[in-house]
Amino acid sequence: MTSYTPYMPPPDNTPPVERIRPFSLAGRLDRWRYVAFALCAIVAVMLILFIAGFALLYLGSLGRMLYIGASVVLCYAFLPIFLTILTIKRCHDFNMGGWLAVLLLVPVVNLAFCFIPGTKEENKYGLPLPVPSAGTRAIAIILPILLIGGFLATGASQLSDSSNATSSPASTTLQSYQP
């Protein structure tokens, strides 16, 4: 029998929270972390391939083969598996089975995983996660804006290039086909 003394720390009455393990199929993942983890993984793969492209540039054909191998492993093995794991955990957050992650393959329907709210209390897949930090929320908001903005900027430059190409006169004249 121990009694409370001023020299003992106060009893811990905080509710238990689940630890975030992004590479595990167990547990839950809220909307903010789902978007942040997925987009950070995509940006990380792009950065790795960009740096590897420059690093392997000097190796010639061997460097090209290594770059192709690295890009295949990252883009066709790591990224789909990691995004599937995140989506399964996201399904667990709104108390659904992981098989619902098959909807990740449906082009527009897969965006629903970003907007479906999770259960606020404990469900059959575990305790709710703590409230995400401001940094996690900022990443989940800023990265999509940057990626969409970069995509639109690239498309806008392509449109301006193609409009200039059609307005310029042809450098050669076409001749009719004579069999």
Give the sign of the dihedral formed by CA 41, CA 42, CA 47, CA 49: positive
Identify the pLDDT of residue 16: 63
**Under a CB-based contact definition with an 8 Å cutoff, are residues 94 and 118 in contact?**
yes
d(CA 21, CA 78): 16
Contact 19, 118 (CB under 8 A): no
Residues 6+ apart with CB under 8 A from 177: none
* The pLDDT of residue 40: 93
Check if the beta carbon of residue 92 is closer than 8 Å to that of residue 28: yes
pLDDT on residue 171: 62
Cα-to-chain-centroid distance, residue 89 = 14
From residue 35, alpha-carbon distances to 67, 75, 111 in Å are 28, 18, 10
Alpha carbon distances (Å) from 113 to 35, 36, 118, 166: 9, 13, 10, 42
3 state SS of 41: helix
Give me the helix-helix angle, 31-55 and 79-93, nearest 10°. 170
Q: For residue 168, what pLDDT is reported?
A: 52
pTM for the full model? 0.73
**Token digits for 132?**
């995400």
pLDDT at 2: 59
**Going residue by residue through the chain (179 aa), what tens digit of pLDDT does each one get?**
556 667 777 667 666 666 788 888 888 999 999 999 999 999 999 999 999 988 888 888 888 999 999 999 999 999 999 999 999 999 999 989 889 889 888 888 888 888 888 888 888 988 888 889 999 999 999 998 998 888 888 876 666 555 555 555 556 777 887 87
